[in-house]
Chain A
Amino acid sequence: MNFLRQSLGRIFNPFVGPITGLGHYGIFVFESLRWIVRPPFRMRVLIDEIEFIGNESLFIVALTSIFTGAVFAYQSWLAFDLVGTESLVGASVGLALVRNLGPVMTSIVVAGRAGAAIAAQIGNMRVTEQLDALEVMAISPKQYLVLPKILAGVICLPLLVGFFDLIGNLGGYVVAVYVCNIDKAIYVEKLKFFLAPWDFYHGIIKALFFGFTLTSIGCYKGFYCKDGAQGVGRATNEAVVFSFVTILVMDYFLSIYIPTGIRTQG
């Protein structure tokens, strides 16, 4: 009996921690989202978070998107040129950016910038008793700190992804037309032909999930941070790593289940 218990323990123990952690995270998110229907509604705090997560990410998103579009166009041209189909560079860049690279790259950049900052801010508030101070003042930290950040993530990420798509395609167009000498009209025509509205919606829906994920993970890691400055560092690090991995795994499944505007050349 003892042998059986030990054997089962060896098999299942490694799963206990992650499953418990996932459950704990789920409860945290549920308890935070419950406040969405309970006053007071702090619009000012939400606007501040939108400013931080959205507006302050614009520059880094623009920089990332223009070079992503540019390098993708160049690499696609190198490959398509081998088989004489360089006219498809525009479509290839457009589809890749709008469906996948836009939401994933934007989310990774925002997770690295805002997600890490969220974990560090809330973690620091935890270890310096500022969260306790909020509770003593009869203010729920989940309502005051966590909910506005999650909502701001869900609002901002789709907008940032739209911005990424626009700038990224511009970067791709410039490289394709002026470096690879692809005809402007062909580039645009193929892009328009292959790119359907649902490709864009596909990326935007992904962004909603990613915005929720990166902010909620940042908040969760900061909220349960302990052990002083070292703990804040660990929480920040974990928030970024967990967000990156979750975004990449989710991207695969969302790519399968969210419809796209796939069409074939007729």
Chain B
Amino acid sequence: MEKIIELEFRDVFKHFAGSPHPTLNKLNLSCEKGKIHVLIGHSGAGKSVTLKHALKLVDPDGGQIFVKGEDIGQIKESGLNGLRSHFGMLFQNSALFDGLSVSENISFPMREKFPKLLESEYLNRVDELLASVGLDGQQDKMPSQLSGGMRKRVGLARAICLKPSILLFDEPTTGLDPQTADLIDRLIVQTSRNLGATSLIISHDVHAALRFGDFVSMIWEGKIIETGSPDEIRRSANPVVHQFLKSAGAL
């Protein structure tokens, strides 16, 4: 069966003013449709910037990014909504809207995109999504009343509200205890598989990356230095990858 590439970075280069080195240095990465791709690397290696490029929140200084085969560099401001409607994203700190309840946060994208639905339709979808992330009955709580793990789950529910075809996760388990982190990891896998979505996950957690990623890529100094299945990554001869896995206790 022919592989379909949903998200592709070709020679992407980005150098922020004031930084001594480029953040992305001819980065190449391809994400296959329906697969879970995990991007691992040290802090400051350019992982989060890579995600922001996919959403055109940041423009590259060089190279091209393709989303569903379309070069997003050619998309004008008026076409951004169309591009971003393909994506759902779980942010590092969940990025829930402080002034809105859990229910309002989750239904927010739906209310914006389909403003003429009945209130009951929004609420039914919220109930369904909260049940899928194991948070039934938390509709009326405010974000400040939730724990870190609960916030992540609400963020995940909001990210999948409109059933996007590409899911992006920015360090989804950072700052969580191992048990909650494991729960979030399992929810991410389950959600991605259920939606049939292409997922790109940025993670520090090498163990989790090797356990649930279909493909794992390592970024170093703004470049992808290794890509492959978890087994291929474990067997990598690249000394940087080897050292990274070893220091994380994954070998």
Contacts and interface: CB of A to CB of B under 8 A. Distances in A.
Contacts of B139: none
A246 to B, nearest CB: 28
A137 B98 contact: no
Contact of B98 (A124, A129, A136): A124
A138 B93 contact: no
B251 interface: no
A60 interface: no
Interface in A89-106: none
B115 interface: yes
Contact of B80 (A128, A130, A133, A138): A138
A135 B108 CA distance: 13
Given A137-B108, A137-B109, A132 B84 contact: no
B2 interface: no
B91 A133 contact: yes
A125 to B, nearest CB: 8
A231 to B, nearest CB: 15
A139 interface: yes
Contact of A136 (B84, B93, B115): B84
A135 B109 CA distance: 11
Contact of B97 (A40, A130, A135): A130
Nearest to B93: A128
A129 B91 contact: yes
A138 B97 CA distance: 15
Given A124-B98, A137-B108, A137-B109, A132 B91 contact: yes
A130 B98 CA distance: 9
Contact of B95 (A40, A132, A138, A139): A132
B57 A135 contact: yes
A136 B55 contact: yes
Contacts of A124: 98
B91 A135 contact: no
B13 interface: no
A128 B155 CA distance: 13
Nearest to B108: A137
B92 A129 contact: yes
Contacts of B84: 135-138
Interface string B207-239: 000000000000000000000000000000000
A129 B115 CA distance: 24
B112 interface: yes
B85 A138 contact: yes
B81 interface: yes
A132 B57 contact: yes
Interface residues of B, number: 23
A133 B89 contact: yes
Given A40-B115, A139-B112, A129 B95 contact: yes
A136 B83 CA distance: 9
Nearest to A127: B93
A28 to B, nearest CB: 14
A137 B112 contact: yes
Interface string A117-159: 0000000110011101101111100000000000000000000
B81 A138 contact: yes
Interface in B105-155: 108-109, 112-113, 115
Contacts of A135: 55, 57, 80, 84
B9 interface: no
A223 B115 CA distance: 26
A40 B81 CA distance: 13
Most buried by B among A40, A130, A137, A138: A137
A136 B89 contact: yes
Contacts of A125: 97
Contacts of B80: 135, 138
Interface in A18-65: 40
Interface string B21-62: 000000000000000000000000000000010010100000
B87 interface: yes
A125 B98 CA distance: 9
Interface in B60-109: 80-82, 84-85, 87-89, 91-93, 95-98, 108-109
Contacts of A40: 112, 115
A31 to B, nearest CB: 9
Nearest to B110: A137
Nearest to B97: A130
Interchain residue pairs A-B with the least CB separation, the first 3: A138-B81, A133-B95, A129-B95
Given A40-B112, A130-B97, 15 more contacts: A124-B98, A125-B97, A128-B98, A129-B91, A132-B52, A132-B57, A133-B89, A135-B57, A135-B84, A136-B57, A136-B88, A137-B112, A138-B80, A138-B85, A138-B112
